[in-house]
Amino acid sequence: MKTKLHILYGGKSAEHQVSLQTALAVTKALDMDKYEVYPLYITDTGEWRRGGLLNGPAESVHQLKLEDGGETIAPLALSSGEDVAEASPVIFPLLHGPNGEDGTVQGMLELLNLPYVGNGVLASSAGMDKVIMKNLFAQAGLPQVGYVHFLRSEWEKAAEATYVKVEEDLGYPCFVKPANLGSSVGISKAKNREELANSFREAFEYDRKIIVEQGLDGAREIEIGVLGNDEPECSVVGEIAPKTEFYDYKAKYEDGDTAMIIPAEIDGETYAKVKEMAITAFKSIDGAGLVRADFFLTKEGELYINEVNTMPGFTPYSMFPLLWQHTDVSYPELIEKLVGYAKERHEEKQKIKHTF
């Protein structure tokens, strides 16, 4: 019997286009003999559109926008007993950024009691908010670079004081980031006061809260994939080697001018430490399904966790699937595993008593 699978993509987020590319890639990898695949598209204004059964891979991003034949629905219709919901579908959220990767959609799916791929409400929201995430990592004893954070209202009232705090606590260079966004959107590197002020202005365009992190000169950026539920496993380690000054949005998605070294050239002791820290990070946010954990490795061999991404880039050319490909898990197999973990976690939740 085929598994009914709804791929959920798009979203009211600055990462809307990234999500569409991910969804296109997933439709090309799914085994249509194993799955009944239905597209669910959230427009950039928040409208939900549902398409009919896919008979094969989507041919283009335009097709996935469901402008020809898509049906506008209320999200609650996913569990209303309509034809596509007669047997509970597994929802595969391929959403990046706020209003999708941050626990909002996951909370709705929990209320509808639908199985879904990936992290739950807590892990998604904590993984989206870089400040909360780093606070949890600190509680778990994971080494991190120095950081400070600010609300837009603080900056608007006393910009000079915020700049002084960065200079006194962190110094230059430093990285300024929106607290709740991914794909390197809104991130800047600041090497002096003028660049810091410009970086604050840009980051606050995307969020009401920003985080500023200490820069590490010459540190390598390495990443590892984590897969599973209660007993997570790790992939090989990969390294990001951007030819620009840092791995920004343009380097990730437009230039194609960044090297991914898989596996990374690290010794066995460092690899063991990366795996240990990645699993600790995964468990500290109560992860499920998947995360990509990102680290800094200094010239002196010191290892610092940077962040985890609870819905990492998921095209066949993204780091997360490539890490697993080099760990003998193909892209279609990876998708199948994630759907399996979603069912496993959903079945476990059904054992919880709601009366006494």
| Pair 199, 250 in one domain | no
Domain hosting residue 40, numbered range: 3-116
- b/e string for 38-73 if b means 16 or more Cβ within 10 A? bbbbbbeeeebbbbeebeeebeeeebbbbeeebeeb
**Inside any domain, residue 230:** yes
| Total tally of structural domains belonging to the chain | 3
Same domain, 132 and 177: no
Domain membership of residue 307 (yes or no) is yes
Going 246 to 252 to 257 to 263, the CA torsion angle's sign is positive
Query: In this structure, what is the dihedral angle of CA atoms 126, 131, 137, 142, given to the nearest 10 degrees?
Result: 150
pLDDT of residue 80: 55
Whether 196 and 275 share a structural domain: no
| Domain-located, residue 121 | no
Give a yes or no: residue 209 inside a domain.
Answer: yes
**Pair (104, 168) in one structural domain:** no
Are 257 and 322 part of one and the same domain? yes
For the chain (356 residues), the mean pLDDT of every run of 10, in chain order, is 94 89 94 94 94 93 90 84 60 91 95 96 96 97 98 98 98 95 80 98 95 94 98 98 61 61 97 98 98 97 96 91 97 96 95 85
**Are residues 179 and 41 part of one domain?**
no
Do 290 and 191 fall into the same domain? no
277 and 138, same structural domain?
A: yes
Cβ–Cβ under 8 Å, residues 315 and 327? no
Same domain, 248 and 316: yes
Q: Within a domain: residue 324?
A: yes
User: Is 224 in the same domain as 334?
Assistant: yes
pLDDT at position 83 is 43
Residue where one domain finishes, among candidates 162, 181, 214: 214
In a domain, 352, yes or no: no
At 82 the pLDDT is: 46
Q: Is 287 found in the same domain as 138?
A: yes
**CATH number, domain with residue 197:** 3.30.1490.20
Question: What is d(CA 336, CA 341) in angstroms, rounded to the nearest whole number?
Answer: 9
Q: What is the pLDDT of residue 257?
A: 58
Residues 174 and 205 in one domain: yes
